[in-house]
Structure 1
Amino acid sequence: MMLTTKDWAEYQQWHELLDALCTKEGHLDNMALADALCATSKNQTQAAFDAAVKNLRNWRMGIHIPQRKNFILLGKILKVDRDNALRDAWNRLYSQAKVKPSTDDIVTGMDDETPPPASSAKSVSKQILIAGGVAAALVTGVFVIDLSGSEKVEDTDPVASYEGIVADYVRNVSAKVGDSLIIHGARGNECGDAPTWESAKLLLPELVTGTLTDGGVGTRNSRQCGGRIPARAIMFTATKPGTEQISLYGDDIVIRVTE
């Protein structure tokens, strides 16, 4: 039986909502859900499956939270968009939870990979990152082959950082309610590192047709800097049909959302 709007509103923690959805869909042991995650991310190795099972257990218990790429995959698999109240609770509780750093192991494409502190630079040099495909300016997965043996990278940012995220400016945005796509990227000072989400969100406008959230650290093209540079991706999620024009970091954007 489908839970009601009131039921969704009663959840105060994202992992509790995730666990309730998983239970409702019959995912009691995480096996089928892990298999679906691997298939959706196009990484169906045994290592990826084992990591997915482990991560799902941690996510459902509230030990860790998933990176945005895995959060989006979970939403699709669990059909969060079928109910507006469910989608609102899903996004709101995740946004509140993701300020806490994730510490999922980095071993496969189903693990959440985050940038390390400066002291871990040597460890990172031993990793090979293979970016997954980008659909509608949204990264669907990233594969990480860890060559460091027992070394692990500490997590400092709950949103993944890798060059596979394209954070270019999109002048005309067309989306359906429930769609999420990256429409711009905030660059740092003097062509340097991407700004933090806390800094980037200060200049975001209020929207009528949707919301703007952190899309992770990727790259965008910059004439001033002479090529692609690190940028904080800005993700638009369509929530209401309509058309509006906004200015984002000095660039005009027209957004059209349909049912």
Structure 2
Amino acid sequence: MRTFKHGLVFSTLLLAACAGGGAGRNQEVIAVGETKHLTVYIGDKCGAVPTFEEIEGRLPASQIISYSDGGVGERTSRRCGGTAPGRRILATGVQIGEETNVYEAGKLTVIVR
């Protein structure tokens, strides 16, 4: 019985390490020239989706990525009490490096390789 419990604990820890290790919700890895979804910015009143132009000035300055409009998307928001529509932000890797910035949804580290 003891061997079974230890095996079960080891398997659970191994599964957790594989599922949660490394690149998680707070890290995005992008290749130079690659474009990926980065985040979603929701409207001030949790309803109307902001335009890219409305939020472009709120995006943190970056030396390693450029931002572009990803269209309409959604994300979970405590402020809005659930899922809210928003503007998807895409990032294109332009220079190798690593930056940590604060976006509307929280802190995110971007690594461009």
SS at match of 2:110: strand
State the partner residue of 1:200.
55
Deviation at 1:247, TM superposition (A): 1.7
CA offsets per residue over residues 52-78 of structure 1, 9 Å max, x none?
A: xxxxxxxxxxxxxxxxxxxxxxxxxxx
Give the Cα–Cα distance (whole angstroms) in 2 for the partners of residues 190 and 199 of structure 1.
14
Which residues of 2 match residues 213-228 of structure 1 at below 5 A?
A: 213-228=68-83
State the partner residue of 1:113.
none
* Residue 174 (structure 1) aligned to one of 15, 23, 29: 29
Higher relative contact order (CA 8 A, sep 6+): 2
Which residues of 2 match residues 36-185 of structure 1 at below 5 A?
A: 170-185=25-40
Higher strand share: 2
State the partner residue of 1:243.
98
Give the Cα–Cα distance (whole angstroms) in 2 for the partners of residues 189 and 205 of structure 1.
18
* Residue 88 (structure 2) aligned to one of 206, 228, 233: 233
Deviation at 1:249, TM superposition (A): 2.5
Question: 1:207 is aligned with what amino acid?
Answer: S
Question: 1:172 is aligned with what amino acid?
Answer: Q
List, as ranges, runs of 4+ consecutive aligned residues in structure 1 with deviation greater than 3 Å. none
CA offsets per residue over residues 93-149 of structure 1, 9 Å max, x none?
A: xxxxxxxxxxxxxxxxxxxxxxxxxxxxxxxxxxxxxxxxxxxxxxxxxxxxxxxxx
Contact (CA 8 Å) 2:39, 2:105: kept in 1 or not?
no
Deviation at 1:207, TM superposition (A): 0.8
Give the Cα–Cα distance (whole angstroms) in 2 for the partners of residues 223 and 208 of structure 1.
31
Percent of counterpart pairs with the same letter?
A: 31
Deviation at 1:250, TM superposition (A): 6.6
Give the Cα–Cα distance (whole angstroms) in 2 for the partners of residues 251 and 220 of structure 1.
12
State the partner residue of 1:255.
110
Deviation at 1:226, TM superposition (A): 2.4
- Give the number of aligned pairs: 89
- TM-score between both structures, scaled by the size of structure 2: 0.71
Give the Cα–Cα distance (whole angstroms) in 2 for the partners of residues 256 and 216 of structure 1.
23
